[in-house]
């Protein structure tokens, strides 16, 4: 028996290292990056590969041919990946697949290939299986490439709340290959642009300029062209990019911005996060609007709404607000939605976000294009004013 006052403490530190690595044409048999990312020290190990059903339909044959060419015994599991199906049940299906593949604790990590939904589901399953095993991520959507790729988070929706169950468990490595975007539907490309747009607004004025000049064209060319036709901007004038081409520079700057913002605050102990821009009102409203709004669309609406809040505080000039709205429109992203004009829904959304931010608003808003600051005293009257400004953007028939 110990005395009632006895006390023991355990302190430990968790070191984290993971990589985001570009690798062109991952499914080409000459490219060994996919298998080089997992420990295949025993070539008889069954390699678990989890893909979303669309990826299986579009790339399944190439993927199987790749694994067979490299003589890898594999267990390939294809799962649905709509946002409505991002549930704990699918996480358990992945855990069953891990059992079937006889997954090891460290050796031979599963490979997840797909959009953000698939990567979040597999990431959560990997964090629970044997209390946490490593995994590899291959994002195949634009949103996955620029946003999920850097994140340490996993999650599933629960009881109407977005990502209410989840974990912080980064993969060993994320492999980036923008050739997957060739098959991505236009609306999904625009969806990914929503997160790039967010990053540009709060952190990167140059990225914003690139979106204004080349954004629409990059979507049209599905990020595949080395350079826009003629090597110059669609709007004329000299090229604006300094990297290899606008597609690489836009994706590269978005990833770099995320790395810079996340690395010092990976576990989100600091609840003032500028990358939460566009994610203050949208989490609840996006879930209410399902399946009407995609994540990046909801983020864009929140960005525009929050730009009106900033303008109300004198942090953004009216010509800057105009550029924000015009850029979103040029990317084919929505700038108006009835839920973002509904003061009650907005108030409820902010209240839930305040609980998530532990009692403070910590509301990132733009302070000019390319920088941010935080507000903690936004009033219901300000929400009303921003909602009224948003309502002005409604298409004529919807007013
Ligand atoms: N972990 C994080 O920190 C983090 C960050 C951002 C977003 N997310 C999550 O990501 C999810 C959104 O991800 P998403 O936008 O990639 O959506 P998604 O995973 O639903 O994919 C969108 C659609 O595109 C299809 N698809 C995927 N790749 C394709 C390709 N190359 N060609 C053709 N079709 C393809 C998918 O099957 C799906 O139908 C949300 O659930 C969000 O919560 C997580
Ligand atoms: Zn997001």
Task: Say yes or no: CB of residue 180 within 6 Å of ligand 1.
Answer: yes
Residue 281: count of CB within 10 angstroms of its CB = 28
Instruction: Tell me the pLDDT band of 13, cut-offs 50, 70 and 90.
Output: confident
pLDDT of residue 230: 44
Per-residue pLDDT of 207-256, as tens digits, reads 999 999 999 999 999 999 765 544 444 445 555 555 668 999 999 999 99
- Decide: 362 and 376 in contact? Cβ < 8 Å: yes
DSSP for residue 46? P
**Please, what is the average pLDDT of the chain?**
92
Task: Say yes or no: CB of residue 148 within 6 Å of ligand 1.
Answer: yes
Same domain? 310 vs 201: yes
> Is the residue at 11 inside a domain?
no
Listed residues 183, 211, 231: the one ending a domain = 183
pLDDT of residue 231: 47
Residue 265: count of CB within 10 angstroms of its CB = 13
Task: Say yes or no: CB of residue 179 within 6 Å of ligand 1.
Answer: no
pLDDT of residue 100: 94
- Decide: 211 and 331 in contact? Cβ < 8 Å: yes
Task: Say yes or no: CB of residue 178 within 6 Å of ligand 1.
Answer: no
Per-residue pLDDT of 365-396, as tens digits, reads 999 999 999 999 999 999 999 999 999 999 88
Query: Which residues in 35-107 belong to E strands, given as ranges?
Result: 47-52, 74-79
- Reading the block at residue 325, the tokens are 């709205």
pLDDT of residue 308: 98
- Reading the block at residue 324, the tokens are 């924000």
Distance CA 357, CA 350 (A): 10
> Is the residue at 168 inside a domain?
yes
Same domain? 176 vs 227: no
Residue 227 Cα, ligand 2 centroid: separation in angstroms?
Answer: 27
Task: Say yes or no: CB of residue 191 within 6 Å of ligand 1.
Answer: yes
Residue 145 Cα, ligand 1 centroid: separation in angstroms?
Answer: 9
Task: Say yes or no: CB of residue 114 within 6 Å of ligand 1.
Answer: yes
> Is the residue at 73 inside a domain?
yes
Per-residue pLDDT of 269-298, as tens digits, reads 888 899 999 999 999 999 999 889 999 999
Per-residue pLDDT of 77-103, as tens digits, reads 999 988 889 999 999 999 999 999 988
The residue from 7, 86, 102, 153 that is catalytic is 153
Q: Whose C-alpha lies nearest to ligand 1, atom 37?
A: 54
Distance CA 108, CA 135 (A): 9
Same domain? 232 vs 151: no
pLDDT of residue 203: 97
Atom of ligand 1 minimally distant from the CA of 294? 15
The enclosing domain of 94 has a CATH number of 3.40.50.1970
SS3 label, residue 358: coil
Instruction: Tell me the pLDDT band of 105, cut-offs 50, 70 and 90.
Output: confident
Which of 100-109, 158-167, 264-273, 320-329 shows the highest mean pLDDT? 320-329
pLDDT of residue 1: 55
Same domain? 217 vs 162: no
Same domain? 252 vs 267: yes
Same domain? 51 vs 149: yes
> Is the residue at 35 inside a domain?
yes
> Is the residue at 12 inside a domain?
no
Ligand 1 pocket: which of 51, 54, 86, 115 to mutate (most atoms within 8 A of CB): 115
Distance of CA 354 to the CA centre of its chain: 21
Distance CA 365, CA 368 (A): 9
Query: Quick one: which H or E segment has residue 67?
Result: helix 53-69
pLDDT of residue 270: 83
Nearest to 264 by CA among 348, 150, 181, 158: 150
Question: Residue 40's domain spans which residues?
Answer: 19-183
Q: Is 153 a catalytic residue?
A: yes
What are the residues facing 21 on neighbouring strands?
A: 175
pLDDT of residue 396: 82
Q: Note the ligand closest to the C-alpha atom of 53.
A: 1
Q: Note the ligand closest to the C-alpha atom of 293.
A: 1
Same domain? 255 vs 296: yes
**Domains in the chain, number:** 2
Residue 270: count of CB within 10 angstroms of its CB = 9
Residue 191 Cα, ligand 1 centroid: separation in angstroms?
Answer: 9
Same domain? 251 vs 133: no
Listed residues 131, 164, 183: the one ending a domain = 183
Listed residues 125, 158, 183: the one ending a domain = 183
Same domain? 269 vs 173: no
Does 331 have pLDDT greater than 50?
yes
- Main-chain phi, psi angles of 172, to 5 degrees: -65, -40
Distance CA 108, CA 101 (A): 10
């Amino acid at each position: 028996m110990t005395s009632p006052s006895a006390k023991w403490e355990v302190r430990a530190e968790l070191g984290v290292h993971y990589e985001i690595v570009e690798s062109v044409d991952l499914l080409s048999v000459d490219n060994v990056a996919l298998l080089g990312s997992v420990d295949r020290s025993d070539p008889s190990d069954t390699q678990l590969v989890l893909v979303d059903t669309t990826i299986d339909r579009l790339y399944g044959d190439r993927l199987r041919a790749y694994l067979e060419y490299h003589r890898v015994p594999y267990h390939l599991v294809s799962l649905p990946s709509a946002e409505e199906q991002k549930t704990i049940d699918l996480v358990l299906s992945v855990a069953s697949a891990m059992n079937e593949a006889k997954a090891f604790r460290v050796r031979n990590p599963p490979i997840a290939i797909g959009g953000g939904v698939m990567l979040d589901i597999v990431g959560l399953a990997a964090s629970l299986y044997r209390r946490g095993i490593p995994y590899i991520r291959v994002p195949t959507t634009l949103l996955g490439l620029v946003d999920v790729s850097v994140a340490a988070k996993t999650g599933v929706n629960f009881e109407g709340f977005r990502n209410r169950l989840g974990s912080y468990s980064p993969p060993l490595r994320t492999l980036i290959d923008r050739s997957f975007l060739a098959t991505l539907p236009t609306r999904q490309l625009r969806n990914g642009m929503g997160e790039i747009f967010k990053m540009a607004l709060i952190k990167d004025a140059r990225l914003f300029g690139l979106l204004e000049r080349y954004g629409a064209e990059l979507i049209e060319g599905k990020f595949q062209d080395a350079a826009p036709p003629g090597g110059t901007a669609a709007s004329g004038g000299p090229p604006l990019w300094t990297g290899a081409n606008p597609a690489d520079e836009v994706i590269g700057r978005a990833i770099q911005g995320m790395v810079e913002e996340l690395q010092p605050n990976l576990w989100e102990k600091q609840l003032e996060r500028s990358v939460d821009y566009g994610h203050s009102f949208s989490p609840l409203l996006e879930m209410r609007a399902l399946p009407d709004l995609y994540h990046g669309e909801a983020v864009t609406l929140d960005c525009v709404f929050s730009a009106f809040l900033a303008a109300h505080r004198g942090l953004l000039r009216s010509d800057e607000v105009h550029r924000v709205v015009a850029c979103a429109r040029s990317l084919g992203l929505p700038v108006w939605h009835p839920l973002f004009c509904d003061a009650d829904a907005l108030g409820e959304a902010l209240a839930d976000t305040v609980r998530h931010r532990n009692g403070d608003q910590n509301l990132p808003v733009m302070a000019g294009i390319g920088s941010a600051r935080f507000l903690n005293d936004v009033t219901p009257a300000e929400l009303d004013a921003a909602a009224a400004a948003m309502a002005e953007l409604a298409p004529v028939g919807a007013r």
